[in-house]
Structure 1
Amino acid sequence: MSGEIAVGDKLPESVIGPFDAAALTRYADVSGDDNPLHLDDALAAKIGLAAPPVHGMKLLAAFEPMLKNWRGDLQLVGLSAKFIQPILRGETVTLSGRVLRASRDEIFVRLFAHGASRTPGIIGEATLRRETPT
């Protein structure tokens, strides 16, 4: 895809999940993040959560395909985020974004992941560059 990208442009929303207990267990196995908080209902309840939270890095990783679907001509070169509140197992997650800066060579996007409460669970930033032909 090509075309001008302007400050304020909204990225198409992407919906992922909901993630069930089996998906969180598989992620724990492959990532090595076997923190029981993500896997144990009783532990989650003990700290006041209705269900275990989805691994933050699993959610953060979902931004890359969203960005690629939006603009396949751009390459993701930087991604960071702050984890604001847990997104719980069983919740549908909505990913969205907005262009904050755009130049000929580099695009800077603010990213959001919202769970059921629509309060951001993750606020992130992505830096994208135009792919150079090989």
Structure 2
Amino acid sequence: MSDPIKVGDKLPETVIGPFDAPSLARYAEVSGDANPLHLDDAVAAAIGLAAPPVHGMKLLAAFEPMLRAWRGDLVIASIAGKFVQPILRGETVKLSGRVLRATENEVFVRLVAYGAARAPGIVGEATLRPRPAT
């Protein structure tokens, strides 16, 4: 049996990336998001970015394995995020989480993805519930 979850519990930090141009091109192909902003240095530079930003949904999806690794006795009921600041190609990304609410039936976690700027790139939330008995 896993330890009880308490408000304030921190999830183990997870580091992903850096993402290179070929990995962003592969993601664009499989996701259908071929926005040139994510793929073309000149387009990114035209709006003042040093490199193309990583697809936000690619980063948001990276929270799922982090949550699963933290508590295998829970399943993700929902996950959402707000894209606050671009995380650029070539940056290492740190994912973190903290429990804001916990009952025996539901756990609510604040999620944050930090890029090189150390300001949040994504601020999100996840709701987890106990894994159903099989």
Using structure 2 for the length normalisation, give the TM-score. Answer: 0.99
Give structure 1 regions of 4+ aligned residues with deviation exceeding 3 angstroms.
none
Gaps spanning 5+ residues in structure 1: where?
none
The AA in structure 1 aligned to 2:38 is: H
- CA distance in structure 2 between the partners assigned to 1:118 and 1:46 by the alignment: 23
Number of equivalent positions: 134
1:86-105 counterparts in 2 under 5 A? 86-105=86-105
The alignment-based identity, stated in percent, is 74
Q: Which residue of 2 aligns with 1:10?
A: 10
1:41-60 counterparts in 2 under 5 A? 41-60=41-60
1:100-119 counterparts in 2 under 5 A? 100-119=100-119
The AA in structure 2 aligned to 1:111 is: L
Q: Which residue of 2 aligns with 1:25?
A: 25
Q: Which residue of 2 aligns with 1:67?
A: 67
Deviations 1:8-61 (A, max 9, x none): 000000000000000000000000000000000000000000000000000000
The AA in structure 2 aligned to 1:2 is: S
Gaps spanning 5+ residues in structure 2: where?
none
- CA distance in structure 2 between the partners assigned to 1:3 and 1:11 by the alignment: 13
- CA distance in structure 2 between the partners assigned to 1:132 and 1:78 by the alignment: 16
RMSD value over aligned CA atoms?
Answer: 0.6
CA drift of 1:132 comes to: 1.1
Residue 105 of structure 2 corresponds to residue 80 of structure 1 = no
The AA in structure 2 aligned to 1:115 is: G
The AA in structure 2 aligned to 1:21 is: A
CA drift of 1:2 comes to: 1.1
CA drift of 1:3 comes to: 1.4
